[in-house]
Structure 1
Amino acid sequence: MPRLPPALRLRPLDREVARLAVPAFAALVAEPVFLLVDSAVVGSLGVVPLAGLGIAGTLLTTAVGVFVFLAYATTAAVARRLGAGDLPAALRQGVDGMWLALGLGVVVAAAAWPAARPLALGLGASPEVADAATSYLRASLPGLPAMLVVLAATGVLRGLQDTRTPLVVAVTGALANIPLTVVLTLGPGPFPALGITGSGLATSTAQLAMASALAVVVARGARRHGVGLRPGGAGVLRSGRDGVPLLVRTLTLRAAILLTTGAAARSGDTALAAHQVVVTIWSALALGLDALAIAGQALTGKTLGAGDVAGTRDVLRRLVGWGVVLGLLSGGLVLVARTHVAPLFSADEGVRTAIAAALVVVALAQPLASYVFVLDGVLIGAGDGRYLAAAGLAGLAVYAPLVVAVVVWAPTGTAGLVWLWVAFAGGFMAVRALTLGLRARRDAWVVVGAVR
């Protein structure tokens, strides 16, 4: 039997990547289940509650998504200290990161409570829909600090090279949310029906339980190694400082998507409806790439903490290779399935045509996207947040005039949507690929030791 070429043979590093990436992917897939369950149950209440959930869900996921740096920065910092052989310091950094998450969550929840209805109206909701959105948001806001603690605690465990525990907690929370949502929303039997408010309370309750479970795991590890659980002022401030560049990076990604959506709206209702489906598929494909990036964060931080530059470079090369393979496979799948996928989302022929056409661009962009995602994860693991923020701003600076050009010169409808996605892939994503690729080739980001 012929032997595989060396580049295709499985190595111990590949098994380590799979050990981290596969559970991370499953946990990422479990997260959207919360809103899917809420949508299914609240949808039975009528159009207004479901529309209110759509507005509230957008606001809530945006608020949580902005603070994803709590997971990423914590993963990198904890992994570095672990690699340096200082597990107590790794746990200390993790505990401080969780305290930062709790503090930020309390502040954001307190600010969002009075702003809930104005925010819903600002997104174009009718007064009735805004009332429903406000009810859901205010019921779920007590769980917002818990959501951010879940991010930070997940980052701690990823930094400790454990992605299985967050998976178990994510899946358990998603499953527990199903009966909670049904009972609190619909009120079967002796239970009172709380409507959309009950759905928000169920989400809040599940998130509080998840945060508690993860906090217990981290606290046990901390106590086992003599690490106190009280917040350290310097450590909390350091966690916040390390997270600011990653916050800027995240905001540039969200701004690019918002620009794309706004431009799609100018191409007409058909293009906007198709764009919503296409961006959802793009986000779903990103889950697999995110899992590789998470493995990159954990492994890069660990190898740099241990002073293993050769190992860090090996991680980079291997992850880029697997990322491109995954991008080619997912892109090929989208290319083949696009005409079969479109009818699943709309009965309108124009929308179907626009979806299928735009998915050609999405398919062709997958290898490029995988390259960007993997490099992003490796550089996050290296603690290179300032450069990532600058790269995101550069991508946005190039993409914004491209969007304007598409709006001004491109035709509306399907053609306009296709050109918009060409601009996104060939502008924003291409600039990020160029800037991150140039960075990865150099040594400025390869800083060894427990602290960058």
Structure 2
Amino acid sequence: MSSQDREILRLAVPAFFALVSEPLMLLADSAIVGHLGTPQLAALGIAGTILQTLVGICVFLAYGTTSAVARRIGAGDHRGALAQGIDGLWLALLLGVVLAVAGVLLAPAAIGAFDPSPDVADHAVVYLRISCLGIPSMLLLLAATGVLRGLQDTKTPMIVAISANLVNIVLNLVLVYGLGLDIAGSALGTALAQTAAGVALVVVVVRGARRDGAKLRPDRPGILASAQAGVPLVVRTLTLRVAIILATFVATSLGTTSVAAHQVAFTLWSFLALALDAIAIAAQALTGRALGAGDVEGTRAITRRMMWWGLWSGVGGGLALWGLHTFYVPWFTADPEVRHTLAAVLLVAALWQPVNGVVFVLDGVLIGAGDGPYLAVAGVVALVLYVPLALSVIWFDGGIVALWWAFGGFMLFRLLTLLTRERRDAWMVTGAVR
């Protein structure tokens, strides 16, 4: 094994376990809520999509911070790296409070936009409102994770994430079945577990900042700079979230069975996507550090190596997704119609996994390079091409399987735009600050 492979594994393996803990929370929620009934499972699908969108648009708090901190580490500015990380934490707290209030107030309107049946809508509003109370902690968790990744530490986030996942399962079982809180218990349990995780990582970052003499008080210019740098990544993330929301909207129009199957399939897709993203996390940290140190050749070499890792990881994930579906599908639903529909969707999802693997790796490389403006443009292009594909499923009554072929097309469009960028040198800007 080469030194490149060892370094990728050193960062990617802990990042893998940390990343998959989030979808494992969703998988646990889906399994627990799914046995309450199909309306509850469909409600989780809709509310979960909205919640993930609110939190997902702020993923720049992790990704952008990783890049900025790693660049300063590569340039030898450890105190400056932590100071920039603290700015990210303050920004996360401010955004979290705003989004939490907006989510609670606008929950009925947001759920109603999907036009679900009345019983599904009632369950979805309850789940979304309770979950929104945990958004500030979720965003602090993102920002603190980004700081530690930039410091080349993926083990600490892994330990915290695994602990939170175990706590989430216990809380969900106790609150949903032990106390009979139905879907509200699932939302409350997950919010409490994520809050505990966020607090734990913030404490780690603050201790490190104190040790190195970095400032802890809010710094308005630093916070504004972090927000400004995050705008292109927000646009990039919004294009992905819009694509996912559109897929959920189309699935909802196809009926309760379709949206229930879509929820489980998308949860599994997210699990594999974030697992593949473990390599992308390594890409962010290593790319940022290498460019901060001025090592262009090393950046190019590690990029090509990680692309192969992404491709073969995608192949393996696709084989596992389809090969084991008869084993894990019964965990999520007892409805035979949902099971049959889900099996057909999972085959399509499995075929697209190698494409996903390369897409997530290249996304991580360009994020690590601070190439947010290009990622924003590329995301918009892919979305514009995807929208008519998704809507054609409704126009031609194509069904849920056709919808997943269309969503795979969105990932293919992203692959083509990212490969075009990777083959050029414009993204490889060196120095502590891009």
Tell me whether the two structures share a fold, i.e. TM-score over 0.5.
Answer: yes
Residue 227 of structure 1 aligns to a residue whose secondary structure is coil
Partner of 1:439: 421
Separation (CA, whole Å) in 2 of partners of 1:195 and 1:89: 47
Partner of 2:96: 105
In the alignment, which of 190, 197, 219 is matched to residue 210 of structure 1? 197
Cα-to-partner distance string for 1:199-255 (whole Å, 9 max, x where unaligned): 544444333322221111111111111101012111111111111111111111122
Separation (CA, whole Å) in 1 of partners of 2:126 and 2:403: 36
Cα-to-partner distance string for 1:36-62 (whole Å, 9 max, x where unaligned): 555666678788777765554443333
After superposition, the Cα gap between the structure-2 partners of 1:49 and 1:335, relative to the gap in structure 1 and judged at 3 Å, is closer
Separation (CA, whole Å) in 2 of partners of 1:110 and 1:212: 20
Residue 76 of structure 2 aligns to a residue whose secondary structure is coil
Partner of 2:165: 174
Partner of 1:155: 146
Cα-to-partner distance string for 1:255-280 (whole Å, 9 max, x where unaligned): 22233333445556665554444333
In the alignment, which of 279, 290, 293 is matched to residue 280 of structure 2? 293
Amino acid at match of 2:246: L
Question: In the TM superposition, what is the alpha-carbon distance from 1:183 to its structure 2 partner?
Answer: 5.4
Question: In the TM superposition, what is the alpha-carbon distance from 1:11 to its structure 2 partner?
Answer: 0.9
Separation (CA, whole Å) in 2 of partners of 1:292 and 1:260: 26
My pick for the range that moved more, 52-61 or 314-323, is 52-61
Partner of 1:114: 105
Separation (CA, whole Å) in 2 of partners of 1:436 and 1:20: 23
Partner of 2:237: 250
Partner of 2:296: 309
Separation (CA, whole Å) in 1 of partners of 2:344 and 2:175: 42
8 Å Cα contact 2:49-2:245 kept in structure 1 = no
Question: In the TM superposition, what is the alpha-carbon distance from 1:408 to its structure 2 partner?
Answer: 3.5
Separation (CA, whole Å) in 1 of partners of 2:171 and 2:330: 33
Partner of 1:423: 406
Question: In the TM superposition, what is the alpha-carbon distance from 1:282 to its structure 2 partner?
Answer: 2.2
Q: Are 1:225 and 2:208 counterparts? A: no
8 Å Cα contact 2:27-2:268 kept in structure 1 = no
Cα-to-partner distance string for 1:302-354 (whole Å, 9 max, x where unaligned): 10011111111111011011111112222334454567666766677765565
Separation (CA, whole Å) in 1 of partners of 2:165 and 2:271: 18
1:60-71 correspondence runs (5 A): 60-71=51-62
Q: Are 1:239 and 2:192 counterparts? A: no
Amino acid at match of 1:246: L
Partner of 1:94: 85
Amino acid at match of 2:3: P
Question: In the TM superposition, what is the alpha-carbon distance from 1:401 to its structure 2 partner?
Answer: 2.2
Greater RCO structure (CA 8 Å; 6+ sep): 2
Partner of 1:165: 156
Unaligned runs of 5+ in 1: 1-9
Question: In the TM superposition, what is the alpha-carbon distance from 1:293 to its structure 2 partner?
Answer: 0.9
8 Å Cα contact 1:338-1:360 kept in structure 2 = no
Question: In the TM superposition, what is the alpha-carbon distance from 1:366 to its structure 2 partner?
Answer: 2.1
8 Å Cα contact 2:114-2:249 kept in structure 1 = no
What fraction of aligned residue pairs are identical, expressed as a percent?
Answer: 58
Unaligned runs of 5+ in 2: none
Separation (CA, whole Å) in 2 of partners of 1:377 and 1:45: 38
After superposition, the Cα gap between the structure-2 partners of 1:38 and 1:319, relative to the gap in structure 1 and judged at 3 Å, is closer
Cα-to-partner distance string for 1:8-44 (whole Å, 9 max, x where unaligned): xx11111111111111111122223444555666678
After superposition, the Cα gap between the structure-2 partners of 1:265 and 1:335, relative to the gap in structure 1 and judged at 3 Å, is same
Partner of 1:146: 137
Q: Paired residues, what number? A: 434
Residue 32 of structure 1 aligns to a residue whose secondary structure is helix
Partner of 1:18: 9
Partner of 1:448: 430
Separation (CA, whole Å) in 1 of partners of 2:76 and 2:4: 20
Question: In the TM superposition, what is the alpha-carbon distance from 1:184 to its structure 2 partner?
Answer: 5.5
Residue 248 of structure 1 aligns to a residue whose secondary structure is helix
Separation (CA, whole Å) in 2 of partners of 1:181 and 1:344: 16
1:315-394 correspondence runs (5 A): 315-334=302-321, 336-337=323-324, 354-394=341-381
8 Å Cα contact 2:45-2:263 kept in structure 1 = no
After superposition, the Cα gap between the structure-2 partners of 1:199 and 1:361, relative to the gap in structure 1 and judged at 3 Å, is closer
Partner of 2:383: 396
